[in-house]
Structures are given as structure tokens and as C-alpha cells.
């Protein structure tokens, strides 16, 4: 393998974003904020090729993510053989690249859908307006919050980082993050983003304050010119309807210029899947696990 993997660095995020913009399809996994947030827990690294960036995770095992760049301009038959001389597993591969690989590397790879990694994609207008019977329960909970609490919605600014960290600490106490490897990892990812807020180029978010205390916050970023992605959304459930409120208010105040909102995966968590489905996704961005055999037959 000629690829030279190195730690993901903030200094190269603009170069990365330029290649990401050339991808025919952008899943939530590949936003720079997501790579940065989870780099330590997954031990993520990247290698820069002439026309793409390769992403590797080394924890809990060595796996490769989709290369980032102009997929349709690359001779994958030659490139994969050149870079990987044995069986190699790629995960989180968006369906447009899966289709392209199925057409170009023929029988030298196996493909298996990863339902837990599918992104949930919603119409921004649907989640702002909450119209009709499909959203009746969400609208009802939102209205309860609006009527019951003396709240203020504010765009997320650096001066709110301290409050967000304090709320996150309290949230983790309520949810007992220490007993959950998943929640502990997410907590570390959130702190990594908050601590580097000013250096991440596409950060945006919102928060709800009740009596001056933060009761909910959202951390998001622009994924494409048409879509925003919500990475983290936390609320104090002692305030009924708080999650419906932060979801609707953030989109209404900060995301009206986008057609869709990507709310990431459910990771096969049944409760999370039920919650994400209850918001009536417009579509799924499907992803697969691809095992490359290590050679291409002519």
C-alpha cells in the first residue's frame, strides 16, 4: 500500500471540504465535523491521494470508509488493486458509490446493506410546519412547550459554549453516561466539537433558554448547498416537549435556506429508530458494507 495515513487535522479541513464537494453523494459520516468529533474514539486517520482522500478507522478494528472525491472520474479497478493487495472491508459506503462499484469492479467485491448506518433525511418544511395528522403528536408537544414555559430561542454562539458544556454534563448525569460506552463516546465527541467551535468552519446551532438556563441545544453544519445535518441534539426532559421545540425552532430560525435536513443514523438502536421514523423521513440515504477481494479479474 502506498497510502500514507496521518491524523485528521483542522488545518486541512478546507482542502477536505473541496474534495467532499466533488462527491456525487454526501452522507452525514463524511462531514468534516463528524470526522473531527469521532476521530479519537474511532482512531480515524486519512491519506491524501491525487484526487481523493481515503479514510481509515483503527478502533475497534481496521476498516475503511468511502474515499472522498470525484467517484465517477476514478478508475476503481486499477486504483483498488494498486492500494489494497488483500481482502479489505469498506463500511458506510453511500448507495451511489455502491452502484458505481457494482458496475466497475464486477464480481470482485461483495455488498451488504448496513441498515443501522442509513441516514434519515427529512424535508425542512415538514419539520418546521408540522402539518397534518402525520405530525399531530409532535405539534401537540411543541404547543405544550410553547404555552407552558417562558423560553428564549438563541442561535448558538461561542459565549454559550460554557452553558452547553454544563448542560451536557448534567444530561450525562441523568442518563448515566458512564455506564454506557455509546453515550460516553458521544459525550467525548460533543466536547471535542464544543472545544474547537471557532476552528470548525461550518458550525451552526441553536439553544433554548428557560429563565436564563439552557434546557436544549442543537449542533449542526451545512452538509451540501441543499442540506444541513444535525449532529447533536440534547434536551432536558423535565421540560415537556423540549425535543420537539429545539428541533422545530432550530430549523425555523437557522435552516430555512435548506431543502432537507439529515438527522444521521439509528445504529440499530430500536428506540432511536422509532423516534427517527416518527418524524416521517422523506427518504433514506442508504449505505453498505463492501468487502473487496483484493484483485480485479479482467
Looking at residue 240, its pLDDT comes to: 97
What is the DSSP secondary-structure string of 69-104?
S-GGGS-HHHHHHHH--S-EEEEEEEHHHHHHHHHH
Res. 152: pLDDT tops 70: yes
pLDDT tens digits, 93-139: 999 999 999 999 878 899 999 999 999 999 999 999 999 999 999 99
CA 112 vs CA 65, 71, 87, 108: distances in Å: 14, 20, 15, 14
β-pairing, 119-123 vs 88-94, is unpaired
* Cα–Cα dist 161/164, whole Å: 5
Which residue, 27, 41, 35, 42, is CA-closest to 10? Answer: 35
CB 95 within 8 A of CB 288: yes
Bond prior to 275 in cis (omega within 30° of 0): no
Domain made up of 119-264: CATH architecture: 3-Layer(aba) Sandwich (3.40)
Residue 279: all three cell numbers together: 418524524
Choose which CATH entry (3.30.420.40, 3.40.630.30, 1.10.3720.10, 3.90.1150.10) describes domain 6-118+286-292: 3.40.630.30
Kindly state the greatest CA–CA separation across the chain: 69
Strands 88-94, 287-292: pairing is antiparallel
Q: Please provide the average confidence, as pLDDT, over all residues in the chain.
A: 95
In the chain, CATH 3.40.630.30 covers: 6-118+286-292, 119-264
Q: What is the pLDDT of residue 1?
A: 66
- Residues 25, 148: Cα–Cα separation, whole Å: 42
Q: What is the pTM of this model?
A: 0.95
Task: List strand residue ranges (DSSP E) for the chain, in order.
Answer: 6-7, 44-48, 53-57, 63-64, 88-94, 109-113, 119-123, 151-155, 203-210, 213-222, 227-235, 260-262, 283-285, 287-292
Cell 456525487 belongs to: 24
Q: What pLDDT, in 10s, does the model give residues 59-86?
A: 999 999 999 999 999 999 889 988 988 8
End-to-end CA distance of the chain: 21
Would you state the torsion angle of the CA atoms of residues 223, 277, 38, 227, taken in this order, to the nearest 10 degrees? Answer: 0
Please answer whether residues 128 and 256 qualify as being in contact, where contact means their C-beta atoms are separated by less than 8 angstroms: yes
d(Cα 163, Cα 159) in Å, to the nearest integer? Answer: 8
Q: What is the pLDDT of residue 100?
A: 97
**Cβ contacts of residue 184 below 8 Å, gap of 6+?**
177, 178
Would you give the DSSP letter of residue 180?
Answer: -
The tens digit of pLDDT for each residue in 166-211 reads 999 999 999 899 999 999 999 999 999 999 999 999 999 999 999 9
- Nearest residue to 54 via CA among 70, 69, 38: 69
Distance CA 198, CA 213 (A): 23
* CA–CA–CA angle 120, 126, 129 (5° rounding): 145
Question: Is residue 194 within 8 Å of residue 169, measured between CB atoms?
Answer: no
With bands split at pLDDT 50, 70 and 90, how would you rate the model's confidence at 298?
A: very low
Amino acid at each position: 500500500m502506498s497510502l500514507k495515513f496521518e491524523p485528521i487535522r483542522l488545518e486541512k479541513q478546507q482542502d477536505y471540504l473541496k474534495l467532499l464537494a466533488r462527491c456525487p453523494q454526501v452522507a452525514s459520516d463524511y462531514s468534516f465535523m463528524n470526522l473531527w468529533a469521532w476521530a479519537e474514539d474511532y482512531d480515524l486517520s486519512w491519506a491524501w491521494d491525487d484526487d481523493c482522500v481515503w479514510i481509515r478507522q483503527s478502533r475497534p478494528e481496521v476498516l475503511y470508509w468511502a474515499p472522498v472525491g470525484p467517484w465517477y472520474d476514478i478508475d476503481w479497478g486499477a486504483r483498488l488493486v494498486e492500494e489494497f493487495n488483500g481482502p479489505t472491508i469498506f463500511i458506510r459506503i453511500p448507495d451511489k458509490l455502491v452502484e458505481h462499484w457494482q458496475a466497475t469492479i464486477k464480481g470482485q467485491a461483495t455488498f451488504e446493506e448496513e441498515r443501522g448506518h442509513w441516514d434519515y433525511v427529512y424535508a425542512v418544511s415538514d419539520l418546521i410546519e408540522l402539518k397534518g395528522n402525520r405530525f399531530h403528536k409532535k405539534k401537540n408537544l411543541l404547543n405544550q412547550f410553547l404555552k407552558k414555559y417562558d423560553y428564549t430561542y438563541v442561535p448558538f454562539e461561542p459565549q454559550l459554549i460554557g452553558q452547553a458544556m454544563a448542560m451536557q454534563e448534567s444530561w450525562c448525569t441523568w442518563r448515566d453516561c458512564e455506564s454506557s460506552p455509546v453515550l460516553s463516546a458521544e459525550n467525548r465527541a460533543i466536547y471535542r466539537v464544543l472545544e474547537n467551535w471557532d476552528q470548525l468552519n461550518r458550525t451552526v446551532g441553536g439553544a433554548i433558554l428557560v429563565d436564563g438556563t439552557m434546557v436544549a441545544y442543537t449542533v449542526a453544519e451545512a452538509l451540501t448547498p441543499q442540506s444541513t445535518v444535525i449532529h447533536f441534539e440534547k434536551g432536558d426532559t423535565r421540560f415537556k416537549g423540549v425535543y420537539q421545540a429545539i428541533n422545530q425552532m432550530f430549523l425555523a430560525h437557522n435552516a430555512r435556506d435548506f431543502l432537507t435536513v439529515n438527522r444521521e443514523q439509528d445504529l440499530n438502536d430500536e428506540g432511536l429508530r422509532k423516534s427517527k421514523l416518527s418524524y416521517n423521513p422523506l427518504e433514506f440515504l442508504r449505505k453498505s458494507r463492501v468487502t473487496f477481494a483484493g484483485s480485479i479479474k479482467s
